[in-house]
Amino acid sequence: MLWLTLIASLSINARELPVQPDLATARDAVRAAAAAGAWPEGGFIVPVAPGLDFRTQPLRFGAEDSGRPGAPVVNRAQGASLHGGQVLPADSFGPVTDPAARARLPEAARDQVVVADLAALG
């Protein structure tokens, strides 16, 4: 998932952290490693596991997360996907039953359109 493709140019002195399940955990792992000792000469390489990362809170990165000159932080992932929305269960959708709403739809579409009560889903 991550946007850095210049991994070949990284210093061989980079410290590779264990695989992290998502970007927030990856960010926190770098922060913890940096707080525990000296910043590695080549920076950090952080493998991020593939999969879906559903975010319910903002994911914030600050200056401390970007590395230092010549010693970057590289989050490396393949097949990871970051999502900021809520997953709606398929069974929360049903046919349009409100007569006024059905009347606004083209007749050919009335039985093809589904609705969900977003307020009830939170």
Instruction: Return the beta strands (E) in 49-113 as ranges.
Output: 51-54, 67-68, 71-77, 80-83, 94-95
pLDDT tens per residue across span 26-37? 888 888 888 887
Assessment of whether the complete model's pTM goes beyond 0.95 = no
Answer for the pair 48, 82: CB distance below 8 angstroms, yes or no: no
Residue 38: give the domain boundaries: 7-83
Number of structural domains in the chain: 2
Q: Tell me how far apart the alpha carbons of residues 25 and 5 are, in angstroms, rounded to a whole number.
A: 21
How many Cβ atoms are within 10 Å of 62's Cβ, its own excluded?
8
20, part of any domain = yes
pLDDT tens per residue across span 50-109? 887 788 888 898 988 888 888 888 888 777 777 787 788 999 999 999 999 999 999 999
Q: Are residues 65 and 112 in the same domain?
A: no
- Taken in order 12, 60, 87, 98, the sign of the CA dihedral is negative
